Amino acid sequence: MPSPDKILRSNSKSIEICGQHLREDQLVAVPTETVYGLAGNALSESAVRKIFEVKGRPFIDPLITHFKDAQSAFKHVYACEKAIKLANTFWPGPLTLVLQKSDSIPDLVTAGLSTAAVRVPNHPLLQELLRKLDFPLAAPSANPFGYVSPTRPEHVSKTLGSKIAAILDGGFCSHGLESTVIEFHQAHNPRILRPGPISAEEIKNRTGLIIHTQERDGHDNLPQTSPGLLSKHYSPHTPIDIIENGQVDWVASEDEAIILNKKPDTLDSDHVYWLSENGDLGEIARNLFDLIQKLDGRAYRKLTVEAAQNESVGSAINDRLRRAAR
Ligand code: TXA
Ligand code: MG
């Protein structure tokens, strides 16, 4: 049941109310620069348990813990030199680091793994909230398990609204794709577990570090690889087909939506949509989950989506499309 009354406008009173809910082990949906998160006190087993239950997420799939700054994060995980360099360069921002954890982070948060995923988000409202709390926030994306991540408060209210205490309205998420996840299981050999807004190219350009992307191995049931990276994920109810660049069949039928990267020169169907006026990859990423959720509410038989150019954030867009299409 949608419960729009749970959406709290962005002001200091709302932040106070959300802080109070979180201190009482309740869950609050919070805005981040990537997607909305379903947040609870990361140091409270009872709050963390609720996150898994509300989301319908299996307990083998570990959560990201969000901190107000790097100094706070590095009290709970052991950071190597490369991780510190990445944190200094990209935090606050859409980067999650998976590092050896200390006992202070409950095993429930990390699904029993010896590593924890940590991140310092870059959204002013969430930063203000984190500064008012004396604990970090565990937060997966605020969608039912397996569904598309929310990039607007209304997406959360439609799906999880009746099950949580409040939704903090931070507007439309600026990146629209979940954070880049980098694992330091072997400190000398970090790997990108989940491509995201910060690409391997950008990491190389800004830090000189060369970090490879973990090949997808298809072993969905192996917790050590990356439990949350189940190959089917981010799926709307309407089936998705991916079309490689330039291969889009223009003759859209009535019951099929075509989603293009950029606005076409000529338009001959009401069922053609586009993610960006001029094909800008950042804009495509920002609009992707929003448009998919909007069209998922209509009676289309199929959504046919054009793949993005496979460079920078385009790789992350295509990663999400492939998972949604399975
Ligand atoms: O942008 C984001 O990262 C958003 C916002 C809310 O911060 N959060 C998010 O959380 O996408 P979630 O739970 O939907 O995805 C977390 C990913 C999963 O793929 C999970 O398996 C991985 O991080 N992860 C968490 N802890 C891990 C660990 N210890 N080892 C390997 N992967 C881990
Ligand atoms: Mg998620």
> What share of the chain has pLDDT > 90, as a percent?
83
Contact 200/86 with Cβ under 8 angstroms? no
Q: Token pair of 60, please?
A: 């083998």
Ligand 1: residues whose CB is within 6 Å? Answer: 32, 34-35, 37, 61-64, 94, 96, 98, 110, 113, 115-117, 119, 121, 139-141, 178-179, 181, 183, 193-194, 226-229
Minimum-distance ligand to the CA of 228? 1
- How buried is 148 (Cβ within 10 angstroms: 0-12 exposed, 13-18 middle, 19+ buried)? buried
Contact 222/238 with Cβ under 8 angstroms? no
Question: Which pLDDT score, from 0 to 100, does residue 324 have?
Answer: 92
Q: In angstroms, what is the span from residue 97 Cα to ligand 1's centroid? A: 10
* Candidate from 181, 191, 286 with most ligand 1 atoms within 8 A of CB, to mutate: 181
pTM: 0.94
Q: What's the rounded Cα separation, in Å, for the pair 179 and 51?
A: 19
CB atoms under 10 Å from CB of 286, counted, come to 21
Instruction: Note the pLDDT tens digit of each residue in 6-56.
Output: 999 999 999 999 999 999 999 999 999 999 999 999 999 999 999 999 999
Longest Cα pair distance anywhere in the chain, in angstroms?
Answer: 60
Question: Which pLDDT score, from 0 to 100, does residue 161 have?
Answer: 96
pLDDT of 220 above 60: no
Write b or e for each residue in 85-96: b if 16 or more Cβ atoms lie within 10 A of its Cβ, otherwise e: bbbeebbbbbbb
Omega into 92 within 30° of 0, i.e. cis? yes
Instruction: Note the pLDDT tens digit of each residue in 196-218.
Output: 999 999 999 999 999 999 876 54
Q: Residue 248 — very low, low, confident or very high, per pLDDT cuts 50/70/90?
A: low
